[in-house]
Amino acid sequence: MHALHASEESVRYLYWEPLSPEAARERVEQRLGRRSIAEEGDSLALAVELAATGEVVGDVALTWTSRQHSRGELSFIIHPDHHGRGYATEAARLLLRVAFADLGLHRVIGRLEARNAASARVLERLGLRQEAQLVENEWVKGRWDSEIVYAILDREWRALQEG
């Protein structure tokens, strides 16, 4: 967890600064509790492990953000040494299946800082569409950031599976 969040590159478009070892440990402890989704606010957080070596190279999560609106949200981070190999896409694809096939959610979103092109690409490859760009809506790390919202509906996800 520390290796994932330790570099400026990793956290450039996230809300936090590089994590200290202590903060990373706390984050691991929190995430160990995020094993199932039963109530609004729950998350399923998964380590991305390379089958060949057992090395943990990433962290992906699905959060049930609203019971009323039947909505979930994806998040992901992959170690910089392993970018561009499809790992975020592969791991997040499984979480979309959990969201729609297992939990029966209506809508899943992804939110990102507007300059985070790699994250946008992952969401597009998964079939999410850009729905909104909120201009300078957040004050993060001493500057105004713009947020882009991507989304996919259950029927759209099912159509992709059939396709």
Ligand X SMILES: CC(C)(COP(=O)(O)OP(=O)(O)OC[C@H]1O[C@@H](n2cnc3c(N)ncnc32)[C@H](O)[C@@H]1OP(=O)(O)O)[C@@H](O)C(=O)NCCC(=O)NCCS
DSSP E strands, 17-161: 43-49, 56-66, 71-78, 107-113, 129-140, 143-153
Listed in sequence order, the residues at least 6 apart from 153 whose beta carbon sits closer than 8 Å to its beta carbon are 106, 107
Q: How far is the CB of 36 from ligand X (least distance, A)?
A: 23
- The amino acid at residue 159 is A
Q: How far is the CB of 106 from ligand X (least distance, A)?
A: 21
Q: How far is the CB of 89 from ligand X (least distance, A)?
A: 3
Instruction: Select 79 or 107, whichever has its Cβ closest to ligand X.
Output: 79
Instruction: Select 67 or 141, whichever has its Cβ closest to ligand X.
Output: 141
- Footprint of ligand X (CB under 6 A): 10, 13-14, 76-78, 83-89, 112, 116-119, 121-122, 125
- The amino acid at residue 36 is S
Listed in sequence order, the residues at least 6 apart from 20 whose beta carbon sits closer than 8 Å to its beta carbon are 2
Give the residue carrying structure tokens 């713009």. 146
Instruction: Select 37 or 78, whichever has its Cβ closest to ligand X.
Output: 78
Instruction: Select 76 or 100, whichever has its Cβ closest to ligand X.
Output: 76
Q: How far is the CB of 12 from ligand X (least distance, A)?
A: 7
Q: Give the CA diameter of the chain.
A: 46
Beta bridge partners of 46: 60
